[in-house]
Each structure stands twice: as structure tokens, then as C-alpha cells.
Structure 1
Amino acid sequence: MSMPEQPPRPRQLAFDLPVDSRHGVEDFLIGPSNEAAYGLVEAWPHWPDAWLRLVGPEGAGKTHLAAIWAKRAHAWTVSAREVLDAQVPHLVSGGALVVEDCDGGLQDEAALFHLMNAVKARSGHLLLTARTAPDQWGLRVPDLLSRLRLAPEARIEPPDDALLRAVLVKLFIDRQLVVDTGIIDMLALRMERSFAAARTLVDLLDRLSLERGRRVTRPLATEALEHLYAEE
């Protein structure tokens, strides 16, 4: 007597749900590539100037480190596009401010220059995040460019092997995925060496794992790598 055929396993749908990315000081992973930047940010309020530029590649942890400082300094956080001349008095009223993505296209360069002056006049502090140095921002106000060039810089470099592995582990934990250390080692060896690539890779593996209804295996990890780097 033949057994009835089992219905095919339903395919799970992957939704873009928010990921629990914790930005506490205990969640910031420190290695040779970011320890100098971390130390300089943590040195507040004993900064060499009223402002500090935090520079690093996409996904390097600038927002995380800025959030750590913002909590300590009771600072507000705004994007560079929100820095407008009419808002400067309000923005400096808190005494400490984070301005993120300064190389993402400033709406009002003169407003940022006035903001820096106002912060210093009030003995406040300003943390500016960007992926690149000011010379690459396409600035048209010479005084602003000159001031930003002279501002102290905290730089986050691309991760070393140990930090890249640690970042992968943290990203998987944030998504509640359990992955063997051997798979972590294989991913770190074959992937692009950047924080942004780690986030993209883990996002893809999370989606594939959910769609297939199985854990992250070596074949699934290999498939994700081939998908991301097929053109290389």
C-alpha cells in the first residue's frame, strides 16, 4: 500500500522587519581599526576643540559611536540636511549636538558655519560624522572648508580579521540567528572587508534562511557569497 504524498512545505515569506541593533557602549566592538576613534570620542569633554569630525566608511559604526557620545553628553542628533540657518539658535540651545552624514549633501553650508561658531561661543560641543574628509564634500564656502579641515578627526578604518568576525557574530545575534564558527570564518575569509559588506551579507542570509525555512548552513552561506560577488 503506497503512502499518500506529503504536501510540499509552504515557502516562508521574508518581511523587512526592524532589526534590534543595540547602540549601547557595551555593544560597541573595539579593535585596532576603531580604538583610536573610540578613545578620542570617549575623551569628551576634554576634546582638543569644540568640535570633532568622526570619519569612516559606510557601516563602520559611526552612528553607534555617535549615539554613545550623545547619551553621555545629552546631545541631540540631527542629519546634515536639517541644519538650516533659521534652526541654528535652537540646535545650539542644548549645548551638545551630533550632525550626521555631513558628506551626504548639506542644504545650507553657511548654516553649518554659523552653527560651529555658535557652538564654540556657548562653550558647547559638536560631533560631525561623515564617510570622507571635508575636501571631498564638494563645499563652496571657503571659510567652512578651512574650519573643517582644522577640526580634530577621529577616523575608523576598515576592520581587521578579528573585528570582522566579531561584527558578523554581533549581526547574526541581532537577528537571533545561530551560526557555526566555521561558517563565520569562511564568510570573513571570502567576503569584502568592510562593515557595510558584513551587514549586507547577514541581511541576505537572514532572508534566505527565513525563505527556505532552515538554519544558516555552509551551502547557504556559499550561495549568498556567490550571489553577492557573482560579477567579480
Structure 2
Amino acid sequence: MRDTEPPKQLTFDLPLDPRYGAEDFLVSPSNEEAYALIEAWPDWPDTVFLLRGPPGSGKSHLASIWATRAQAWTVSAADVAMDRVSHLISNGALVVEDVDRAAGRDEAALFHLLNLARERRFPVLLTACGPVDGFGLKVADLRSRLRLAPGAEIGPPDDALLKAVIVKLFADRQLGIDTSVVDALALRIDRSLARVREVVAELDRDALGRRRRITRPLALAVLDRMEAADGGGEGQDADEGDGEEEDAAGGP
């Protein structure tokens, strides 16, 4: 008698909080300069530093590590307003996230905050995705000040970091994963840690919904489906061809 596939299980998209402890940060050649900057605290040669890197590269994680050590507050650049500057610098240290999104907001307030930080030797760590000239800032003095700010840049993840992050993200979800799955994902996935998070979350949902373990064929099929969705086409179903390859790989 032919086996029938078990019905899909209802799944819930519950948020998985990222772990931002120092012990959770994975150091590799792509981020070691930025990590060294945080490790050098409090022996910084300046008061204002700019940490740059693509979305999901670990900027907020490093900023969180530094904020814990420096007992700093963390705010978004969008929350910096002239009537809040005095309050923001009262704590003794500050992280300002996403300064690349400050354009069109209270740029004068951010410039005033950075001036006060320099005058009072008040440490500020800024984060951004790209180069200052791409921020679209209207205040020339702020643009100049940010250009001159020392700092570090996080590059695209190398192979070792990509694989380590894949393993860690599955482990964060209490999921053991075979090395063949890790290798296949690392070979095919976009060189973006943000994309890695999306793929791992989708694989977790898919495997849970089908009540099946995550295999290499399933991982590749889900990748195909996600890439097709991004391109507006139709991807391969996650079941298609799964059994034959899985048997060849020795899976149950």
C-alpha cells in the first residue's frame, strides 16, 4: 500500500530574538577590524567612531557589545532631535544606529550632538550601511564631520563565517544540521548574513510544517523557491526529487 505524506502542521511565525552577547559574535577576516575596534575600548584615539557594513553584517551586534561595556544608551538616528540632545549625552556614552537614514530628519541636532561629544570627550559609536557620501545629507558640516570620523568597515562574509553563521542560526532554533546541508547552503546562498537569516527561518518553517528533518535536497528546493519568488517566477516544490537524492545521501 502506498504511503501518503503526513498533513502539513500549522506553524506560527514567532519572533526569534537574536543573541547579542560577546560570546555569540563570530570573528572572521571580514569583520576582525571592526571587532578589534570594539575590543580596543576604552583606549580609543577619538570620541566618535563610525561602524559601517551591509544589513545583517553584525553592526548592531558589535554595537551592543560595546554598549554593554561602555554602559551606553542606544538610539536610532531618527530619534535624535535638538530638544533631546542634552538628555542623550547625559548618560556618558551613546550608540546611534542607522546614521545613513538621518537625511531629511533633524540633521542639525545630530551635528550638535557630535560637536558636544568631541568637546566633552563623550564617546559615540555610529552605525551605517554604506559610505557617507551616499547618505544624502543636506547639512554639509555634518557630512564633513562623518567623513572625518575614524572607524571600521565590515565586509561580505567569507566562507568560514558564512558556514559558522548557518550552524549558529540553526542551533539558536535547537536544530541540528548535517554538514552537507551547510555546505550546500554556503555554496548557493547570497553573500549576505541577512539573507542567511531569511533562508534559515524559511527552512525551519518548511521542515516544521511538513514534519520532516532538514536535508540537502529540501534545503536546495527551498532556496529555489525563494529565489523564484524574489524573481517573480515559480520555484520547484520542496518535495520534488527529495526522496531519491535523500536516499542517495544516506538519509532516512
TM-score (norm 2): 0.86
Identity %: 59
Q: Does 1:223 align with 2:231?
A: no
Per the TM alignment, residue 196 of structure 1 is displaced from its structure 2 partner at its CA by 1.3
User: 1:104 deviation in Å?
Assistant: 2.3
- Corresponding position of 2:51: 54
Deviation at 1:159, TM superposition (A): 0.7
The more displaced of 125-134 and 217-226 is 217-226
Number of the residue aligned with 1:69: 66
Q: Give the Cα separation in 2 of the matches to 1:172 and 1:7.
A: 28
Structure 1 residues 1-232: aligned runs within 5 Å: 9-106=6-103, 107-230=105-228, 231=231
- SS of structure 2 residue aligned to 1:98: strand
Q: Distance in 2 between matches of 1:94 and 1:69?
A: 14
What is the RMSD computed on CA atoms of the aligned residues? 1.9
Separation of aligned partners in 1, 2:41 and 2:115: 19
Runs of 4+ in 1 over 4 A off after TM superposition: 5-8
1:157-189 superposed Cα distances (whole Å, 9 cap, x missing partner): 001101100011111111111110111011101
How far residue 116 of structure 1 moved from its aligned partner, in angstroms, is 0.5
1:41 and 1:154 in contact (8 A); partners too = no
Deviation (angstroms), 1:6: 9.7
Residue number in structure 1 paired with 2:247? none
Indicate conservation of the 8 Å contact 1:95/1:122, yes or no. Answer: no
Structure 2 CA distance for partners of 1:85 and 1:217, relative to 1, 3 Å: same
Number of residue pairs aligned between Structure 1 and Structure 2: 229
Which string of whole-angstrom CA distances, capped at 9 and with x for unpartnered residues, describes residues 13-55 of structure 1? 2212121421111110000000011001221122221110010
Q: Which runs of 5+ in 2 are unaligned?
A: 234-252
User: Measured at CA, do residues 48 and 164 of structure 1 come closer, stay the same or move farther in structure 2, by a change above 3 Å?
Assistant: same
Shift of 1:208: 0.7
Q: 2:44 is aligned with what amino acid?
A: W
- Give the superposition deviation at 1:100: 0.6
Distance 1:182 1:6, change over 3 A: closer
Q: TM-score, structure 1 length as denominator?
A: 0.93
Q: 2:37 is matched by which residue type in structure 1?
A: L
Counterpart amino acid of residue 36 in structure 1? E
> Displacement of 1:10 after TM fit?
4.0
Which one is further off, 17-26 or 144-153? 17-26
Contact 1:95–1:123 at 8 Å: present in 2 too?
no
